[in-house]
Amino acid sequence: MICRAVAKRDRNFFLNIITNAVTQPHLRQTHAQIILNGLHSDLATVTKLIQKLSDIGSITNATLICSTFPNPDLFLYNVIIRAFSRNNHHSNSIFIYRQLRQNTHLRPDTFTYAFVISAASNLDCSKLGSCLHGHAIAGGAGLDVFVGSAIVDMYLNFGNVGYAHKVFDEIPEPDTVLCNTMISGSVKNGCLDESILVFKNMILRGTRFDSTTFAAVLTAAAELHELKVGMSIESFSIKLGFHWHVHVLTGLISLYAKCNNMSTARCLFEQIERPDIIAYNAMISGFTCNQEIANAVDLFQKMMVLQHGVNSSTIVGLIPVFYPFGHLILTSTIHSFSLKRSLISKTSVGTALITVYSRLNEIDSARKLFDESPNKSIAAWNAMISGYAQNGITDSAITLFQEMQKFKIPPNPTTITSILSACAQLGALSLGTWVHDLASKENFESNVYVSTALIDMYAKCGSIKEARQVFDKLAQKNPVTWNAMISGYGLHGQAHEALNIFNKMVELKVPLTGVTFVSVLYACSHAGLVKEGEDLFNKMVQDHGFGFKPLPEHYACMVDLYGRSGELQKALTFINNMPVDPGPATWGALLSACKTHKNTELARLASDKLFELDPENVGYHVLLSNIHTADKNYHEAASVRQVVKNQNLVKTPGCTLIEINKIPYVFTSGQRSHEKTEAIYAMLEKLMGKMKEAGFQPDTVTALHDVEDEEKELMVNVHSEKLAIAFGLMNTETGSEIRIMKNLRVCIDCHNFTKFVSKITERVIVVRDANRFHHFEDGKCSCGDYW
């Protein structure tokens, strides 16, 4: 036997083998040979081996080798920090970083900070991230472009766009990667205008672009429905040669689809020789958001036939989120398909289905899906909370939000906006104020959507001064913000303030919308400003470069404007001259005016139209019955009530909410179940005595006509708002303001009652009914007895 000596291999030999290795067994054999050849302590060889192991996902073996290496240098530390982070062991990355700082004399470099900050970003721990940002600044790497990209990305992941912008603005020459991070991160956080601004600044600075830049900024233009901006970006991409890149074409498909130009979107899609799944998804989503559901389903089926794999984005695009009505069966089918393909566990799919079920008023199905979701994202919580709020189930929305707090799930601006909407509906001022404090702590106050929701909440909870304070502090306002302030003033009968805000909008050239005019016309109608309302209506049609076509709600506001001022014939003439068929809102405004001005003849005409257009609305029958009763036409009133009975129409029971020491109490008409019932009724009796001495006479006109006067008086005495006011007087300090929220329109008797109570008790009483706010003080109401 001849023994041959095996030549030892050098570092370059093993570095080449490691580079070309693709499997764990191959790398394990290579590691064994490295040891046999005495290179197990060679820093370059071991570092390359650890790097390769982490790249193929063998992080356990990489860690084991690293832990036995005697004197790792900074490069090896960086490799293992990055390896842990890339393999979703982010806490281990932080641990290694701490070891580096505490147990060695090595100084972290830009790579160290970039890798460890990236790990912290994925841990969703803002305090840790801020601390590492501080370390980077102290280490002299705070303005490095590479580190800056990681810091910006981290703050954007935390939803802190303000901090991300501060870091971005401090970096003297941001490169393409950093700019792309800022654009795409801003889009993900809903800061679409900011992302387009970053793109514009890239042009001014002469920063290099790539396909990712165009794809990201086109997403912002698409979400903003800014077709002109998107077309400018498209022209620029053609000039630089990026137009035919598949990701840019896909971005353009989304742009044209979301701007309702499906023909162009289809042409762009057909220009892609081999559309990938992202392009298919964009086209399916485009069809869905343009109500072309059949085309969306056909393209989806084509994908299946061509054996293109579908993913969660495909399903989300197919779900009719924006136009769900009439598509419950399709939604259920998609739900079943998602279960079969194990896509239901994807949070985006579950969230979209929860949203659609909620919008279809299938709230139980939405909650069942929410409860069954194993990993609930913040978007899923938001969808469920918003679903409850949109369906008027405000108590469940608030309960779920409180449950979210118990689980220590940090809210985002969408959460805050949804829960503020619930507070506004419920009139829960104390809870709304607490949510405001929470928004301030989370630095969400500057978010225009949160601030707009705060304005709406304060206005609908009776605190119009606080609403204005939020409005004045807000640096950036969108049209919705201005509309919310105008609407708030209208609710509180402060028409001149509403007009001032409107005029300021015109002066500042803030885009006016249909809602703007509805809000300001509403304010004019409730204050009897007929001339101002007429001028505004004419401006809406003729001025501001609008060429604005009035909607049914604008016509209804004008009928209400004329009707409230007693010009019933003018209101009828306006209706007859409308270019569109008047709907329930228009005839309802006329019927309400007929009640106020006791015009039975016109009331009969309006009610006939209403019974034809909206036969199941019991409110119109009740209103007509009251009109006949006021006219002492008891036979007709009884006939109307009999129709209600025969058709099994149910009138919404009256209830009133009052908060005492942040605890809500709800009273219903004639309620006697409250623990302080005897004291409440005794207080009412005491008040009535004092009020009668002051000249108060109960209005019993709308009570049933076939009972004795004393019984009629008793019936109106126990309306829910009277019970709530009595309870409030018993449980609040002398001289303090009382606020109540009623779900129905306040009746004449209760309105007079509250005026007298405000005078004899020297209290300010604020009442929100189904239509507006009434501020009672010293025997007078802000509505001028005109509501």
Give the 3-state secondary structure of 135-148.
HHHHCCCCCCHHHH
Asked whether the CA dihedral 68, 71, 74, 76 is positive or negative, the reply is negative
More confident site: 437 or 692 = 437
- 137: CB partners within 8 A, 6+ apart: none
Q: What is the pLDDT of residue 281?
A: 93
Distances (CA, A) of 543 to 32, 535, 549: 83, 10, 12
Q: Tell if the pTM clears 0.95, that is, is over it.
A: no
pLDDT digits (tens, 9 = 90+) for 494-545: 999 999 999 999 999 898 888 999 999 999 988 889 999 998 888 887 765 4
pLDDT digits (tens, 9 = 90+) for 103-154: 888 899 998 999 899 888 888 778 888 899 899 998 888 888 989 899 999 9
Q: What is the 3-state secondary structure (H, E, C) of 381-437?
A: HHHHHHHHHHCCCHHHHHHHHHHHHHCCCCCCHHHHHHHHHHHHHHCCHHHHHHHHH
Q: What is the token pair recorded at 503?
A: 């005029």
Q: What is the pLDDT of residue 167?
A: 92
Write out the E strands in 475-633: none
pLDDT digits (tens, 9 = 90+) for 610-665: 888 877 766 666 667 767 666 566 666 666 667 666 666 555 677 888 988 888 88
Beta sheet of 780-781, edge-to-edge order: 663-668, 655-660, 738-742, 765-768, 773-777, 780-781
pLDDT of residue 330 exceeding 90: yes
Q: 226-253 burial, b for 16+ CB within 10 Å, e for fewer?
A: bbebbbebbebbeeeebbebbbbbbbbb
Write down all domains in the chain, each with its CATH number in brackets. 173-309 (1.25.40), 657-781 (no CATH)
Kindly state the percentage of the chain with pLDDT values over 90: 40
- DSSP category for residue 741: E
pLDDT digits (tens, 9 = 90+) for 151-174: 999 999 888 888 898 999 999 889
Best-predicted range by mean pLDDT among 26-35, 39-48, 697-706, 753-762?
A: 753-762
Q: What is the pLDDT of residue 619?
A: 64
Q: What is the token pair recorded at 728?
A: 């409030």
Beta-bridged to residue 767, according to DSSP, are 740, 774
pLDDT of residue 37 exceeding 80: no
pLDDT digits (tens, 9 = 90+) for 766-783: 998 877 889 999 999 888
Residues belonging to the chain: 787
More confident site: 357 or 389 = 357
Measuring CA to CA, which residue among 504, 495, 514, 437 is closest to residue 477?
Answer: 504
pLDDT digits (tens, 9 = 90+) for 218-228: 999 999 889 99
**For residues 534 and 570, what is the distance between their CA atoms, to the nearest angstrom?**
12
pLDDT digits (tens, 9 = 90+) for 72-88: 788 877 887 888 777 77
CA dihedral 625, 631, 635, 637 (to 10 degrees): 0
More confident site: 703 or 741 = 741
Distances (CA, A) of 753 to 748, 769, 781: 8, 15, 11
Beta-strand relationship, 663-668 and 738-742: unpaired
Confidence of residue 725 (pLDDT cuts 50, 70, 90): very high
Q: Which residue has the tokens 């989370």?
A: 442
Strand, coil or helix: what is 190?
Answer: coil
**For residues 107 and 376, what is the distance between their CA atoms, to the nearest angstrom?**
40
The mean pLDDT of the chain is 85
Distances (CA, A) of 514 to 290, 505, 533, 551: 21, 14, 15, 8
pLDDT digits (tens, 9 = 90+) for 191-204: 888 899 999 999 99
Q: Which range, of 115-124, 230-239, 254-263, averages the lowest pLDDT?
A: 115-124
Q: What is the pLDDT of residue 3?
A: 43
Best-predicted range by mean pLDDT among 28-32, 400-404, 592-596?
A: 400-404
Beta-strand relationship, 773-777 and 765-768: antiparallel
**For residues 430 and 418, what is the distance between their CA atoms, to the nearest angstrom?**
16
Count of CB atoms within 10 A of residue 15's CB?
18
* Number of Cα atoms under 13 Å in the Cβ half of residue 346: 18
Q: What is the pLDDT of residue 505?
A: 93
CA dihedral 241, 245, 247, 251 (to 10 degrees): 50
* Number of Cα atoms under 13 Å in the Cβ half of residue 337: 20
pLDDT digits (tens, 9 = 90+) for 301-323: 998 888 777 899 999 999 999 88
Measuring CA to CA, which residue among 394, 393, 318 is closest to residue 356?
Answer: 318
Beta-bridged to residue 666, according to DSSP, are 657
